[in-house]
Each structure stands twice: as structure tokens, then as C-alpha cells.
Structure 1
């Protein structure tokens, strides 16, 4: 059971991640200030955003890794093995459906919010226009850094923290189903596209529970980010002026029907996948199953 006293996740606390994030962020800001003061150089804001993100998530992951070792977590059992004869082509199809749904959720939810808080949506669209991801207009170094960040660093660290840690820790407190939902909602709220990324988090969690391998959601996450980055690269960067933000708002509202259409195409398949693979109430977390398999 998830509530076994031998479960090392009893000794871990998700709330410590928040304080670790605060400490790491202050430390990075302090170092950044010293470097800028010493060099008197103004760093590229988009490249700096990527560097800061990488520094934060890697530091958080390493800190969590150390906490795992102290708590007695077997990291091999946490990660699990690559499933034999896994249907990676089907996984790629699932990723494509998630990307389609993410686009539809973005269009529909942001259009609805734009009529209530247009200024907020305009600011979000400006931030999206300044996204540091790969782009034809961006320098080579920034594109390489963006690819490494989105396709390697983000999938590994986010799956390690959310599915490897948060999901299994909260399963100790609330059960596997509640932990899956709450951890996915948290994952969604930490991204701009809340609805799309919440469903993405649910599917990544189900994949981990089903396969007992963290490698599967990491690879699917990497597939997702690679395709999304490729789409962003081909589309290029939008201008960031107020005029372009207003035009983007108008384009967003005019494209609501595309969002509905894409949602009708993708959501039924994704819900069907969740229904067929939704964990039973008494399902144990992947870590405990892997530990038992290792001992037998």
C-alpha cells in the first residue's frame, strides 16, 4: 500500500520545494547581480531567461535528489526500467493529440478570458511573443540553448520533480487518484496554458503509473517539447509592440472556432486514454511496485 510505514516518501515534504525554490532564486539573482556589476555588460534577456530557468530546475532537482538519498529512496526504483516492446509509435500519436489539445485549450480559454480581462491577455500575448524558444530570428547560440532547455532539461527535471516526487509524496497523503489530479493541476498552473498543461500532466502521470518507468513520460515530454519548439521555430517571432498585441488579441478571438474544432478532434481520444488507464483507488505508486519487484 502507499501508506506503508516503510515508504520513504513519508519522510519527504513537498512544501520544502517552495522554500528551496526561494533560496535558489535569491542565490541566482545575487550571483547574476554580482556578475553584471563586475562585467558591466547587459545580458540578452531571452538567453538569460533560459539560463536562469535551467539553473533553477537543475538546482531543485539536485537538492531533491540529495533529500531522496537521505530518506532512503532507491533512485533506480524511482526511475524504473525502460518497458520492453513499448509502443513508442502509439506514444508519439498520443503526444500529437496532446499538442492539438494544448493549442485548442489555449485558443478557447484565452478567448473566453479576453472578454473579461483583455489587458491581462494582451500582456500574456506579449510575453508569448518574447518567448525565448527556438526561432528563425534568434541567434544560433540562443536556439541551441533553447533546444537543450526545452527538449532535454525541462522533460527530465519536470518529470523527476512532478511525477517522481510530488505525485508519489501526495499519494502517501491523499491516495493515488487525488495525488494525480492535484499534482497535474499544480503543473498546469505553473505554465501559461493552464487547461492544456493540466491535462498534459494527467497523461504524463498515468503513463508513469501504468509503465512504472519515469523514462516513458520523460521521452513523451521531450517529444512534445521538440514538436512544439519546431512549430515555434517555423512560425518565427511576433513583434512585441502594443499594436501587435492588440492585433494578436483580435486574431485570438477570431480563431475561437478553430480551438473548438481542434478540441473536438483531440479531447475524445485523450479522455478515452485516461478512462482506460485511470488507476484504481488502491493502486500503489510506481516506486513501491518497483521496490517489491527488486526484492523478489
Structure 2
């Protein structure tokens, strides 16, 4: 039992390495990729980071041991998937509202931080000055939609939630794992809410497949948002701090929708009792 609790920290370490320190990548790129275009450097960081997370998950599964088939015991019906998709749409709207709630006041108090942390994320749609490189953009799509959806769900809802639920119970494990999940995302409040929602989906339907699909769908929304923005304003358009501040009404609309949506759901006594009784699937 102690072993399965301790292995949860392996993907935690890998997660923070992904965000702050990837051993050997700088030396590799300086020696091998000195002539590469900048977007190949970006992709190298993404893929190398998720490779480390993948290795951590494999080691955790061996040392646990964790039977991965146990994470897919429930059936994925169309009704269950529809519920997951609706919850994912809510999380997407919620994240827009909470991003403005957090960063709009900060944009006046700490503009440099907001510009760096929130408004200057990694490129999603690559443009080299003349064309949109096809292979690089396909790899970028995979790095945004496929890899995080599978590996992060296995790490956070598979390893961490499973191990820590045995130690602390479902909801405390959900809060801790979702907090760690949120730390490396540009919008920590929205990411925290999304992490909680994915924990809930897994516990409710007893299959990791629904959170994986919903995670991919959420990230695909982000990719489409960026694609549309690039199509409208052009690839060289820069989203400035002033642009963000002037679009405050989008955050307000998203918050109003989120609050009304959540209030309608939370007003049901049966829903509240259901949430209180949630347990990690055995």
C-alpha cells in the first residue's frame, strides 16, 4: 500500500521537469539543431517533455503496480460521452471567465507578468514568414491535442488520483492532483476546474476513456480558437496587453454564463448528495 502511494510522486516530478527543467535538451539542440527553424526547437521541448512524463508513468505502473485495464472498466456509452462533452464546454467557458477574473486586475498591477505568463504562451500555429509548414503544424496539433490528453490523464487521473484516493479519499486527492495540474497552465483557475471535472468524469463513469476524449476536445477548442484568430488577424498579429484589457466584456459574459450554468446544476439536492458520496472506483 505504501508503495502505490509513493509512486504518485514520479509523474509529479516529471510534470515539473516538463515546465522548468528538461535535462540535456539545450545541449542536444545546440549541437544537433543549430540550423533548425525556431519551431523545431519548440516541438523538441514539447515532445521531449512528454517523453519524460511517459517514462514516469511507465515506472509508476511497474512499481505500483497499477493495472491499466482497471482504469477502463466502465462502458463509454453515447449518453455518458454526451455528459462529458457538455461538462467540457462548461469548463471551456468557465476558463475564459476565470482568466479575465484573475488577469484583468493583474494586467494593471503587474502588466509585465501578465504579458509574459498569460499573453505570451508557446506558438500553436507555426508560420515561418512565408508559409505554414505542414509537418510542423501537424506535430504541433498532436503535441497540443493528442499527447496531453492521453499522458496527462494517465498521470493525473490514472496514477495520482488512484494512489492518493487510497491515502486521503477521493475529494482531497482530486483537489491536490488538480492543483498540481493547474500550476503549469497559463490559466491556473480554469485548469484547476478542468482537472476537478476530469476527476469527476472518471469516478462517475469508471473509465479513463471519457476524460481522455474530453481533454482532447478541450485542447482542440484551443487550437481552433487560435486557427480562427490567425485566419482573421493574420499570422504576424500580436495580441497586446491593451487588446486583452479592451476585451474585458468577453470575460464578463463567460462568467455570467458559467455562474448561471453552475447554479442551475448545483441547485439540485440530489446532485449535491451525489457529489458528496463520490468515491474512487475500485
TM-score (norm 2): 0.82
Match of 1:250 among 242, 252, 272: 242
Provide the C-alpha distance between the structure 1 equivalents of 2:257 and 2:21, rounded to a whole number of angstroms: 46
Mapped pair 1:93 → 2:89: no
Q: Structure 1 residues 33 and 201 mapped into 2: Cα distance closer, same or farther (>3 Å)?
A: same
Q: In the TM superposition, what is the alpha-carbon distance from 1:223 to its structure 2 partner?
A: 0.8
- Check the 8 A contact 1:82/1:216 in 2, yes or no: no
Q: Which runs of 5+ in 1 are unaligned?
A: 289-296
Q: In the TM superposition, what is the alpha-carbon distance from 1:62 to its structure 2 partner?
A: 2.9
Provide the C-alpha distance between the structure 1 equivalents of 2:259 and 2:174, rounded to a whole number of angstroms: 19
Say what the alpha-carbon RMSD is for the aligned residues.
3.0
> How many residues are matched?
272
Provide the C-alpha distance between the structure 2 equivalents of 1:168 and 1:272, rounded to a whole number of angstroms: 30
Match of 1:201 among 195, 203, 213: 195
Q: In the TM superposition, what is the alpha-carbon distance from 1:205 to its structure 2 partner?
A: 0.7
Provide the C-alpha distance between the structure 1 equivalents of 2:73 and 2:43, rounded to a whole number of angstroms: 29
Match of 1:180 among 149, 167, 174: 174
Q: How does 1:207-286 map to 2 (within 5 A)?
A: 207-236=201-230, 239=236, 248-270=240-262, 276=271, 279-280=275-276, 283-286=278-281
Q: Structure 1 residues 265 and 76 mapped into 2: Cα distance closer, same or farther (>3 Å)?
A: same
- What residue is the counterpart of 1:76 in the other structure? 69
1:115 partner SS: helix
Q: Structure 1 residues 25 and 33 mapped into 2: Cα distance closer, same or farther (>3 Å)?
A: farther
- CA deviations on 1:102-137 (whole Å, 9 max, x unpaired) are 222222211111122111112235523xx3213576
Q: Which runs of 5+ in 2 are unaligned?
A: none
- What residue is the counterpart of 1:9 in the other structure? 4
- CA deviations on 1:243-285 (whole Å, 9 max, x unpaired) are x56xx2122222223211111112432465578376435x442
- CA deviations on 1:118-157 (whole Å, 9 max, x unpaired) are 11112235523xx321357642122101111112111000
Provide the C-alpha distance between the structure 2 equivalents of 1:180 and 1:22, rounded to a whole number of angstroms: 18
